[in-house]
Amino acid sequence: MHDFMLAKEIIDEVLKIVQEKKLENIKSVDLEIGTISLAHDGFSEHAEDINVENLMFGLENIVKDTILKNTKFAIKKTEGNNWRITNIDV
């Protein structure tokens, strides 16, 4: 569940950038994902790391009815505890 919530957060940010910069025909988005642990119920002892496969599944399903529907996503696991968009290719 938390993988899907992160996917939604990422897509919202990508769509914001696309709109702000008036980008079209987005070919790919590169992401770096650190060790992001989220607790789905608010208890830190229940925290789980983000699963890249589940995150990719979430990304692909969220974009189905958006301008990003043909966009490829590349996810690289990195050090740290956050995520960032490293590139948007048009």
* CATH 3.30.2320.50 assigned to 2-89: yes
CA distance 4 to 48: 13
> pTM for the whole thing?
0.85
Q: How do residues 51-87 score in pLDDT, each as one tens digit?
A: 899 999 999 999 999 999 999 999 998 887 789 999 9
Collect all residues with Cβ–Cβ distance below 8 Å to 12 and sequence separation of at least 6: none
Calculate mean pLDDT across residues 31-42: 69
